[in-house]
Chain A
């Protein structure tokens, strides 16, 4: 398999897993089990206490000792891991509710692959749901920024003159403020505490506003050079109206740049969402969010003792690595084509 296929396949699989968070996660992310705060990750065994091999992996129940400080496994009962189990109902798509999960164990066993957090909620499920929020926010925000950027960049490049100068001056201003400060400033302009849906939309709007400037610059450059191409002049020679030229000749030239920009912006925006949530300015409790989950690590006792709370980082790193690999693939392809 070529490297390109591996990278693209990996990306698609990752996105499928994340977007189908409801299916992949065994538990409802907001379900609390106050009796089991900060339980370590469940260990999946194939050999039981007496050394016998089981084909189906299983878990033991986790019990806490009298003081509630330490956890141990209760080897009396085995709970085999089953695929496609019935669990808590969730919405797969708007209008489609189901209760089938990818894997799970029978009650009262619990398979907390990444342990539980301070409220006893399954971290693995929360990571998946949180990743869904972050990745969706990143994708939608990128779409937003690219749409605005392309529209304004095409306008600037095609119309020239004062329109061009206005748009570019505006882009200058937006690029003159360091990205993080602009993010904070725009965030400050919006209400501090929002409900989940509003917070989500707000995030997307904020990121779109922050990120339109560079794509618009690049698109403008392409439009300017495309205008000078001989085939555009030839088309004008045949009497092609400007809109036709834009649609057929100019805009298709931007696809390459837009793809590269998307590859760069999506991880950046995902990180922006995580940053805002980390500081309490994004998606907050009780919704699962990678940022707020990482935020709990700021408490020393959590940082020192409960290493599984770093789990959101796994999702983040996986997504970021996949996108970086995609971008460098794109660069390689571009270099090969150019040479």
Chain B
């Protein structure tokens, strides 16, 4: 018998004029099975999760059947639902910073879940919470972590707390909504490992919602793809997204000067605290890198290692305390003219494309902004160039009149790239530019970038904590830690990652 059955589940919001967030979804879930649910953003994955657990807002109209161990969940009252949630169905929410009460210690929050269902007293709830904390790998001083507040923990620790909350009562089913997004590779691996262990040893079923192909490939037994609220391909054995062929060959290698070179870079941040001594944080401690013309260099490292500071200094948005930057052999000085030239030559693509574009600007205004500011060309010439740039990134001309809010994440990122190209850069620095994008969009953007590299000899410095993504783009990956480059290439680091079966 199946642990969970879903039949023709449909969720409609009255306000959205009948558009169905979830449209006739049906699937089954067996004991100990890990079911992956993937799809682009907006396909209805999260709505599905909320529907399964009965937490949809009042305005949502639900039809169809959800059965847990044969029991019809849709017929349950709110009180019955509350008894099921946390005890028979656990849920791991997406944003750990938001899903935890900032005013309560994490241990108390785990114990709350135990206390709400297990009819035990406070002390046993605490013991149970501590045991579960150990199970999820919150190592170290458990008592201290129990009494910590969410903001005092790292992202990885918080994510483990969310998992502990979900499994503390040994539920039959756990719904995990993007449980490993924004986690370091090592932490992510560990979390997935524990999931697999739980499913194998205790027969816990998982519904794993993610858009990461690698997570699905490594952990899910079965995957269903969703798009626009519907299942488009179900019950397929783990499907791995097609990998592109190796990085495209580049125009001319040889004796030309490297596009970008940085040597001996030093930079410190002073953190001002009220009434106390200044904390000096060394963000860059002697960084040396070379980026050849027409090539792609990957850069990865744990959070806080200085990647973003390096990106900003390379793009000319911040100045180094010591060290030298050369662009195509020319040394960059701090004079204003050369600084602007520097910034034009090395452009930075930000992580959050929505934040990188002014929501009130049209695409046209955003792309021509560099030209406007630098007073290059007439209005007609700028428009022509804007169309040309859109063409280069594969967007149609009528996108000119759209606003960022009307575009998808991938389209926005391409607009940001088009804007960056307006200044004829030699180097593009992509700082976590692919996070939050689904596989398809990523592939499309990578295609655009590789095309530009082939025709114009652009060089890319690609920064990401996702080493698999970097591996798709290039074989040269540098590892950064505590403000220093410690390893390149990164085969040694990659060894700790499991490879898809």
Contacts and interface: CB of A to CB of B under 8 A. Distances in A.
A237 B416 CA distance: 13
Interface string B464-493: 000000000000000000000000000000
B369 A237 contact: no
A307 interface: no
B356 A239 contact: no
Contacts of B357: 231
Given A230-B350, A252-B360, A235 B355 contact: no
B343 A237 contact: yes
Contacts of B361: 231
Contacts of A184: none
A50 B362 CA distance: 71
Contacts of A238: 343-344, 369-370, 373-374, 423
A99 interface: no
B360 A244 contact: no
Contacts of A234: 348, 350, 356, 416, 419
Nearest to B352: A230
Interface string B326-363: 00000000000000100110011010100111101100
Interface string B416-451: 100100010000000000000000000000000000
Nearest to A234: B356
Nearest to A233: B317
A230 B355 contact: yes
A239 B315 contact: no
B317 A236 contact: yes
A257 interface: no
A248 B361 CA distance: 9
Nearest to A238: B370
Contacts of A252: 360
A234 B370 CA distance: 9
A333 interface: no
Interface in B358-383: 358, 360-361, 366, 369-370, 373-374
B410 interface: no
A249 interface: yes
A235 B355 CA distance: 12
B316 interface: yes
A235 B352 CA distance: 15
Interface in A205-250: 229-231, 233-241, 244, 248-249
A237 B352 CA distance: 16
Nearest to B374: A239
B356 A231 contact: yes
Contacts of A231: 355-358, 361, 366
Nearest to B359: A231
A239 B374 CA distance: 7
Interface in A141-199: none
Nearest to B347: A237
Interface residues of B, number: 24
Nearest to A229: B355
Contact of A235 (B350, B360, B369): B369
Contact of B373 (A229, A230, A233, A240): A240
A160 to B, nearest CB: 12
Contacts of B344: 238-239
A115 to B, nearest CB: 49
Given A237-B317, A238-B343, A244 B373 contact: yes
B340 A239 contact: yes
Contacts of B316: 237
Contacts of A235: 369, 373
A252 B358 CA distance: 10
Interface in A81-135: none
A174 to B, nearest CB: 24
A287 B347 CA distance: 66
Contacts of A249: 358
Contacts of A239: 340, 343-344, 370, 373-374
Contacts of A240: 369, 373
Contacts of B423: 238
A240 B343 CA distance: 12
Contacts of B358: 229, 231, 248-249
A2 to B, nearest CB: 13
A237 B315 contact: yes
A230 B356 contact: yes
Nearest to A239: B340
Nearest to A228: B355
B384 to A, nearest CB: 19
A115 B347 CA distance: 74
Interface centre among A229, A241, A249 (most CB of B within 10 A): A229
B454 to A, nearest CB: 26
A241 B340 CA distance: 12
B350 to A, nearest CB: 5
A156 B148 CA distance: 37
Contacts of A248: 358
Nearest to A236: B317
Nearest to A253: B360
Contacts of A237: 315-317, 343, 347-348
Interface centre among A231, A235, A240, A248 (most CB of B within 10 A): A231
A235 B360 CA distance: 14
B496 to A, nearest CB: 32
A237 B343 CA distance: 6
Contacts of B350: 230, 233-234
Contacts of A233: 317, 350
A227 to B, nearest CB: 13
A224 to B, nearest CB: 15
Contacts of B348: 234, 237
Contacts of A241: 373
A252 B317 CA distance: 24
A233 B347 CA distance: 12
Interface in B398-429: 416, 419, 423
A239 B352 CA distance: 21
A176 B463 CA distance: 49
Interface of B: 315-317, 340, 343-344, 347-348, 350, 352, 355-358, 360-361, 366, 369-370, 373-374, 416, 419, 423
18 contacts: A229-B355, A230-B356, A231-B356, A231-B357, A231-B366, A233-B350, A234-B350, A234-B419, A235-B373, A236-B317, A237-B343, A238-B370, A238-B373, A238-B374, A239-B340, A239-B373, A240-B369, A244-B373
Given A233-B317, A234-B350, A238-B344, 16 more contacts: A229-B358, A230-B355, A231-B357, A235-B369, A235-B373, A237-B347, A237-B348, A238-B369, A238-B374, A238-B423, A239-B340, A239-B373, A240-B369, A248-B358, A249-B358, A252-B360
Q: Lowest 7 A-B CB distances belong to which pairs?
A: A238-B370, A230-B356, A230-B355, A240-B373, A231-B358, A230-B350, A239-B340
